[in-house]
Amino acid sequence: PALGIPASGGLTSYLRATPTIMLAGAMYGFIDVTVLALFPVYALRSGLEEGAIARLIAMAVLGSIAFQFAIGWLCDRVPPYRVLVGCTLGALGCALALPFTIGTTALVLIVLVLWGGAMGGFFTVGMVLMGQRYTGADLIGANGMFVVMFGLGSMVGPAAGGAAMDLWDTHGMVAVVALVCAAYLMALRFARSRRSLP
């Protein structure tokens, strides 16, 4: 099997063998669920109306769906590592841009569509990287661990974002997402230096 990891090694063996790939699942859960859960609160505190908020969330979801075709196409043509770095930079950039664009409908719409695409990219590129690293039963086990990491990110993200908004009214959620993206970017660079990512 790929990487020499037996399927009987347990789910955590996949996390130990390819932590950066598995963390992509956690990133997807962390950012996606945090944004969907807390953006309405963030937007209300920023002065947006409820109807506008619902439309903006819908556009973020649409971006998450629509961009996956382009991201998958890109993974076939350039190293997926670079695509994953691009998604991380995109998510980081959108998080930093949100406070400056929230008051302008057209600009915040663009930011949320791009943010949705970057968020969904963690899932798409993670799947591609797993397909390159694992086969057979190991691919099933790796996918299971990826889903577990998504669940962990989904639980931790909204709690961390909400606590941050209590400490730093309005912008705490954005700050947490930006910090997580920056930390994952450093993890990607470390993994690349160790040649553990293609």
| Residues 44-75: tens digit of each pLDDT | 998 888 888 888 899 888 888 989 999 999 99
Give the predicted TM-score (pTM) of the model. Answer: 0.89
Go through the chain and tell me how many residues it has.
Answer: 198
One DSSP character per residue, 107-148 reads: HHHHHHHHHHHHHHHHHHHHHHHHHHH--HHHHHHHHHHHHH
Average pLDDT value for the chain: 89
Residue 185 predicted with pLDDT over 60: yes
| Residue 166: partners with Cβ closer than 8 Å, 6 or more residues away | 172
CA distance 87 to 18: 19
The number of angstroms, rounded, from the C-alpha of 166 to the middle of its chain's C-alpha atoms is 23
Residue 3 has pLDDT above 80, yes or no: no
What pLDDT is stored for residue 4 in this prediction?
43
Share of the chain above pLDDT 70, in %: 93
Q: For position 125, what pLDDT does the model report?
A: 95
Mean pLDDT, residues 1-13 taken together: 59
